[in-house]
Structures are given as structure tokens and as C-alpha cells.
Amino acid sequence: MPRYALKIEYDGKPFSGWQRQKEHPSVQGAVEAALAKLERDVPSIAAAGRTDAGVHALGQVAHCDMAKDWDPFRLSEALNYHLKPDPVAVVACARVTEDFHARFSAEERQYLFRLISRRAPLVHDRGNAWRVAHPLDPDAMQAGADRLIGKHDFTTFRSTMCQADSPVKTLDELRVETLSYPSGTEYRFHVRARSFLHNQVRSFVGTLERVGAGAWSPDDVKAALVARDRAACGPVCPPQGLYLAAVRYPTDPFA
């Protein structure tokens, strides 16, 4: 069966997450329903990461096996037609080898978290960013982030529901970017690693927000990491500002 890689963009607000569920709408369910309009008995698709409810994607990658030899452009166009009106789009499609796996072939995952500091409620970014009403110190947040770079036991920043075999991960990047607007300031957290623990990025950002607000020092972040205790973590921030930005493979299937 021909295998195809799909690069998928979606707004996570209407969904219970990526993973298909019987009683709740999911991104996987929407894509598989669109595939079923094209061919009967399409096998279940696999994705690079299972995003939670309310989490968005700019570059989720999934693979599917089809009975027909589709032209990749026509397959993406057909899927986008049948995905309407769900806020999901296939932005790229490519034929890949049978040994390509969206999850297991991935070498790196990149996440983006958007945090906006302003007094007024969000209008255009409502549900797509986390708003706080107080000012934040980006230099302090970056100093705290720097304490987390490298290979560590991230038990403190791991959900109690996490099913990963080990809390030891290597964090390659945690960078704070500042964007100033007339209506407020946006802080973008760029995070890169081969793989992540459940709620790891949201735990990072919630903790670093406390640093930016002056309630924690950068060294408090290091102490929380060393504690290897979930109780030492700062507040876990809401999912609305989190995006699966990109997935990197040894060879880019969409190049």
C-alpha cells in the first residue's frame, strides 16, 4: 500500500486533542473521516505527537496508507475539501517509503508557546495565546530557561499521568523571544527536543512566567529541577498558547 506523509495545521479549540475518541471530536478523527470519503477501509493514521485538548499545530506530521496510488497534490486537495468546515488543513503531502513512521522516524519536535502580557482581554488571539495582565521580565525568564537546557531528569516538569518510560530527556533549546505591540507584549517560547514528557512544555512556561513576574528567581528554577518532585513545579499554564510547530526527520519528506 502506498504510504503518504501529511503535514497538518489545526486550531485545537474545538477538539479534545489529536487522538481519536469515541464521544468527543478529535483531529485524528476529522482527518480519518476525510480519508474515509476517498477510500474505504483506510487504516488508522499515526502522528508525530499526540497534542492535548486545546493545543494547536502549525506542522503536525502524520502518515497514512492508501490502496490507490494518489498524486500527493491531489490527495491533499481532496482531503482539504472533505475536512471543511473543521479548522484543519493539510498544508503538504508527500509519498514516502514504507519504513517511514511519523512518530518513530522523527529526530526532533519543536514547540511554540505564545504568552501575551496586556491588561485588556484578548480578542483576535482569544484561545490562541495565554494572557496575563502583569508585566514580565524576559531576561529573567531566559535566565531561568537556561537552567533547563541539556540532559536532565525532568520529573518536576512531568505530569503525574505521563506514560513515558523515563523522565530523563535532553532539552536542546528553550528560547524566549519578545515582540512588542501597541496593545501589549508577546513572549514566544521556542522549545526543541527529540521528545517530550506529558505537559513538559506547559510546565516550563508556567514556571518561567513566575520568574518573569518576579515571584521566582532563575535559581529557583534550577532548585525545582534538582528536586525531581512534581510538587516543586510552578503552575502549569493553560493549553491555548501551545503549538506543535515542526517535526524534523533525517530526510525532510516534504523537501
Reported as a single tens digit per residue, the pLDDT across 112-148 is 999 999 999 999 999 999 999 999 999 999 999 999 9
Give CA–CA dist 16/31, Å, rounded: 14
Tell me the per-residue pLDDT of 42-74, one tens digit each, with 9 for 90 and over: 899 999 999 999 999 999 999 999 999 999 999
Tell me the per-residue pLDDT of 212-233, one tens digit each, with 9 for 90 and over: 999 999 999 999 999 999 999 9
What stretch(es) of the chain map to CATH 3.30.70.580? 3-105
Tell me the per-residue pLDDT of 102-118, one tens digit each, with 9 for 90 and over: 999 999 999 999 999 99
Please determine, for residue 1, whether its predicted confidence score (pLDDT) is greater than 90.
no
**Range 108-246 classified under CATH 3.20.20.60:** no
Q: Of the listed 41, 52, 69, 220, which one is catalytic?
A: 52
What stretch(es) of the chain map to CATH 3.30.70.660? 108-246
Choices 3.30.70.580, 3.40.640.10, 1.10.8.60, 1.10.10.60: CATH for 3-105:
3.30.70.580
Please determine, for residue 174, whether its predicted confidence score (pLDDT) is greater than 90.
yes
- For the question of residue 146 being annotated catalytic, the response is no
pTM to 2 decimal places: 0.96
Mean pLDDT (the chain) is 96
Q: Among residues 78, 79, 81, 85, which one has the least CA distance to residue 45?
A: 79
Share of residues in the chain with pLDDT > 90 (%): 95
Residues 28/20, Cβ–Cβ less than 8 Å: yes
Please determine, for residue 14, whether its predicted confidence score (pLDDT) is greater than 90.
yes
